[in-house]
Amino acid sequence: MIPAPLAKLDLPIELFRLRPPFTPLKRFDPSLTAAKTNSMAFAMDVEGRKIALKILRSPGPRTQKSLPPLILLHGMGLHIASFRRLAEFLLVSMDIILPDYNSFADNGGWPPGGVSVPLMARTIARLTESLGFPQFNIGGSSLGGGLSLLTAMIRPNLFQRIVLFNPAIFPQPLPSFYRLVSMPIIGEIMMSITPADRLVTGVTTVGYVNPAKADPELFDTYWQNMARRSNRMKLMDVIRHLPRHEADIRRYLRFAHQLQGPALVIWGEQDRLLEGNAGQRLAAILPRGKYVGIPDLSHLPHEESPETIAGIVLEFLTQSQ
């Protein structure tokens, strides 16, 4: 039986822009309408770091049975617009919160040298606590997937469910470009001279089985980010902070037993960036982990086939405990 098409909204790319002026946010006001909230870009001060975020509200009626808001964290060097097409299906059923943890919005949140992945997770946890919702679901793609998992382990009582798209969590040998960028001086030179086109082309090469499925508006957003040298330097900082040894992540995964809610690992099995068994390995570690492998997708399954991934995510988030 062919499943019925999912309900879908039309979300313009402008909805995912993160541009000044940012509305300062200390605690979210749930009385704001979707029309008002969705047009705003917020910035929250978390321990001296200003984190830009979008809060997209479902236009449907609010009920006590509504799903908790879903926090989604984007991959390394990408942008919250990575979730645009997925959000067109999910926003029908839930609010979506999109923190720009890389602070590509140039709002004063990125210190010299960058921040470690664990510190990013603690920052997202503090941001989440301050928003004012009683509970959330959380997930992410690539490094954002690993980051969302660490965030959930910091505040396990805040998150009902976790959904991950090819999460990067385990240390592994890095591609040659990453290794070079990690070197002092060499990295600065490479990021100064590497054209944005090369970095953006690399997203489709690694992330897609069929690059023709790439959303031109999304990739123009990626290009605009990488065309700025300051953003390429931020990407370099993140690469330099990636965990290098199993011990680096083992100290955090030992707290996985605290995650009482279900966790879903969606894995595009043609991923050429991450080790092939990483998704199944992670699902086996999580107390209520479930692995769903998709043979014909790669590292960014939610971008290449958003309706497929949305169907899996909606089924997971709405099923009973």
User: How many angstroms separate the CA atoms of 257 and 259, rounded?
Assistant: 5
Q: Look-up: residue for tokens 């004012």? A: 132
pLDDT class for 142, splitting at 50, 70, 90?
very high
Distances (CA, A) of 100 to 17, 74, 191, 267, 302: 11, 8, 21, 23, 18
Residue 32 has what pLDDT?
86
Residue 1: which pLDDT band, with cuts at 50, 70 and 90? very low
Cβ atoms 56, 95 nearer than 8 A: yes
- How far, in Å, CA of 224 to CA of 218, rounded? 10
| Entry pTM | 0.94
Beta pairing partners, 97: 55, 71
Distance CA 265, CA 271 (A): 14
- The mean per-residue pLDDT over the stretch 79-96 comes to 95
Q: What phi, psi does 154 have (nearest 5°)?
A: -75, -40
CB 297 within 8 A of CB 304: yes
Percentage, residues of the chain above pLDDT 90: 63
The pLDDT score that the predictor gives to residue 291 is 97
Q: Where are the domains of the chain?
A: 63-87+135-318
**Span 51-66, mean pLDDT?**
79
Please count the CA atoms within 13 angstroms of the CA of 198 that sit on its side-chain side. Answer: 8
Determine the pLDDT at residue 107.
59
Lowest mean pLDDT segment, chosen from 1-10, 169-178, 184-193, 274-283 = 1-10
Q: How many CB atoms lie within 10 A of CB 182?
A: 16
What's the token pair of residue 165? Answer: 């798209």
Confidence of residue 104 (pLDDT cuts 50, 70, 90): low
ω into 21 cis (within 30 of 0): yes
> In 47-155, which residue ranges form alpha helices assigned H by DSSP?
84-90, 117-131, 143-154
CA distance 260 to 286: 9
Mean pLDDT score of the chain: 90
Q: What is the tens place of the pLDDT at every residue in 212-253?
A: 999 999 999 999 999 999 889 999 999 999 888 888 778 778
Mean pLDDT of 146-165: 94
Hey, what amino acid is at 173?
P
The token duo for 56 is 């997209």
pLDDT band at 62 (very low <50, low <70, confident <90, very high): low
97, 136, 160, 219 from 156: Cα distances, Å: 18, 10, 8, 34
| pLDDT at residue 63 in the model | 57
Closest CA to 273 of 312, 241, 299: 299
CATH 3.40.50.1820 is the classification of domain 63-87+135-318: yes
Q: Which tens digit of pLDDT belongs to each residue from 258-299?
A: 888 999 999 999 999 999 899 999 999 999 999 999 999 999
Confidence of residue 168 (pLDDT cuts 50, 70, 90): very high
